[in-house]
Chain A
Amino acid sequence: MNIRNDAWQSMPAILLLLLLIGGCTPVAPWQRGNLAKPHMALETDPATTAIRRHVHMSKEASSGGYGSGGGGCGCN
């Protein structure tokens, strides 16, 4: 298969993301209260996330997207 041809399926998604990012309202430092709430953190429960990611990686053929790093295992 040609990974390049299929990867262009994600191009509209990338463009949409860039547009969304471009069109946002500035939020002053004193207006960050809601964004600072603990349940608005990108990672709210690192240990549970780690075990779930590990389970998904062991039972599925996809990995990546969430960050860089982490090791391998002989998980079946």
Chain B
Amino acid sequence: MNHNNNNGNNSMVKKSYALFLIAASFISLAWADETQQAALTHQTAPDCQAPILGEQEQLNLSNYRGKVVYMDFWASWCPPCRISLPLLNELHNELQAEGFEVVAINVDENREDLLRFLQQCPVDFTIAVDPEGKCPQAYEVVAMPSSYLIDRKGIIRHVHHGFRKEDIEAIRQLVRALLAEPA
């Protein structure tokens, strides 16, 4: 077994210095992790500019006053988003007559990716396009997908991050509850 004993003190200093450097960077990175995103719940849903797909006009939230709106931020490259869209489409068709609307804001930077996805998975609800990300910024989106359930008065009542197949049932219950409220 080969052992060298030279520079005992010197190598101890170097070793501690390296460990300190590594530990300091880990700690500073962890510290930079903000513990909680600002909760937008109970605030009026902010307006944001995004053209509606296939139309000239911009998205205007005041048009939806009096309805319950599920505002979803999604992209074709996000696997949970792809799972959520067909399920949301079903829910939209089921409850639209009662005043429920789904507004899905797509943030794909590449329009072709969005169009290709919609070819494979067409939906009946409103899609707005925001490749520059102005809307997610206004809504302080911290994960993809993120959804904001807005009541008939235009107040954000629930914020949901991520999506699992099972979530659709809980969403259905929340939407029903909000539909029962007066405008």
Contacts and interface: CB of A to CB of B under 8 A. Distances in A.
Question: Do A and B associate with each other?
Answer: yes
A50 interface: no
Interface residues of B, number: 29
Considering residues A11, A14, A33, A34, which has the most beta carbons from chain B within 10 angstroms of its beta carbon? Answer: A33
B117 interface: no
B6 A29 contact: no
A30 B133 contact: yes
- Chain A, interface size: which category? 20 to 34
Interface in A1-29: 1-2, 4-5, 8, 11, 14-15, 18, 21-22, 28-29
B141 interface: yes
B11 interface: yes
A63 B142 CA distance: 39
Given A18-B25, A21-B25, A36-B77, A30 B2 contact: no
B75 A11 contact: no
8 contacts: A4-B11, A4-B14, A28-B133, A29-B142, A30-B136, A33-B75, A33-B108, A36-B77
Interface of B: 2, 4, 6-7, 11, 14-15, 18, 21-22, 25, 29, 73, 75, 77-78, 107-110, 113, 133, 136-137, 141-144, 146
Interface of A: 1-2, 4-5, 8, 11, 14-15, 18, 21-22, 28-34, 36-37
